[in-house]
Amino acid sequence: VASKIYWPTREADPNGRGLGRKHLRRQIDRILDRLGTEYLDLLYIHRWDEATPAREFMRTLNGFVRDGRVNYLGASTLEPNAWKIVKANEIARQESYEPFKVVQPRYNAVNREIEGEFLDMCYEYDLGVIPWSPLAGGFLSGKYTRGESPPVGSRGATDKQFVDSYLTPENFDVLEEVEAVAEEVDASPAQVSLAWLLTHEQVIAPIAGATSIEQLEEDLGAATIDLTRSQFERIATAK
């Protein structure tokens, strides 16, 4: 069981958002009560808080670890700022605190911003990567075709920002390579896209959204697919 902490709960309250001690303490109680559990396996900070010293929020978060309400700590949506995680974990080392053990960045075969310094930092510090949007908002599921109108009811049919961000010639180059590999391994494009992520050593659990049991079962099938090095590289270099 995992949850995140940062966003406002009381708009007019200056202590009602961020990573300040008062907000964190109030929110952990609300989270546990809402989920009906005595502890979280994993608690993420959902943003970096420039208004709160890192040493203060790491101390507060570690209080939750010490009293058994949280087992492990993670950081979400801090990419591409690897230095922030390094700073927090260096404070943890100095103070014998529990460090961040996982990160949750956006990562998929078309959104590759974390490659380079951020992903290198994850390897160096042995941080697990739990990517959000592993199918690029559904683009890599295979429902879109170059030169054709987006399917009725899809995000591409109603969301101009999605169209501008994802339905590009460069992204279709990647999608078509994913589809070619999917035919070779007798799998769906979604399964191949997830398997491509899982080929990365630090990626441990892509967060794939599913709207049905059938989609969930399809996504889970990605764990049984072993891409060859050539297939991995073809997708990696398509864009």
Q: What is the 3-state secondary structure (H, E, C) of the chain?
A: CEEEECCCCCCCCCCCCCCCHHHHHHHHHHHHHHHCCCCEEEEEECCCCCCCCHHHHHHHHHHHHHCCCEEEEEEECCCCCHHHHHHHHHHHHHHCCCCEEEEECECCCCCCCCCCHHHHHHHHCCCEECCECCCHHHHHHCCCCCCCCCCCCCHHHHCHHHHHHHCCHHHHHHHHHHHHHHHHHCCCHHHHHHHHHHCCCCECCCECCCCCHHHHHHHHHHHHCCCCHHHHHHHHCCC
Look at residue 235 in the predicted model and tell me its pLDDT.
98
Per the structure block, which two tokens stand in for 145?
């075709």
Q: What mean pLDDT do residues 112-128 have?
A: 95
Averaged pLDDT score across all residues of the chain: 95
Q: Average of pLDDT values for 187-201?
A: 97
Mean pLDDT score, 112-119:
95
pLDDT, tens digit, for every residue of 57-111? Answer: 999 999 999 999 999 999 999 998 999 999 999 999 999 999 999 999 999 999 9
Return the percentage of the chain with pLDDT > 70, whole number.
98
- Residue 211: pLDDT band with limits 50, 70, 90: confident
Least confident of 11-15, 70-74, 144-148: 11-15
- pTM of the full structure: 0.92
The tens digit of pLDDT for each residue in 222-235 reads: 999 999 999 999 99
Backbone angles phi, psi at 80, to 5 degrees: -95, 20
pLDDT, average across residues 115-134: 96
Q: In the prediction, which pLDDT does 11 show?
A: 64
CA distance 4 to 45: 6
- What pLDDT is stored for residue 89 in this prediction? 98
pLDDT at 210: 86
What tokens does 207 get?
Answer: 């967060």
Position 13 confidence tier, pLDDT thresholds 50, 70, 90: confident
State residue 10's pLDDT score: 62
When mean pLDDT is compared across 5-9, 64-68, 73-77, 204-208, the lowest value belongs to: 5-9
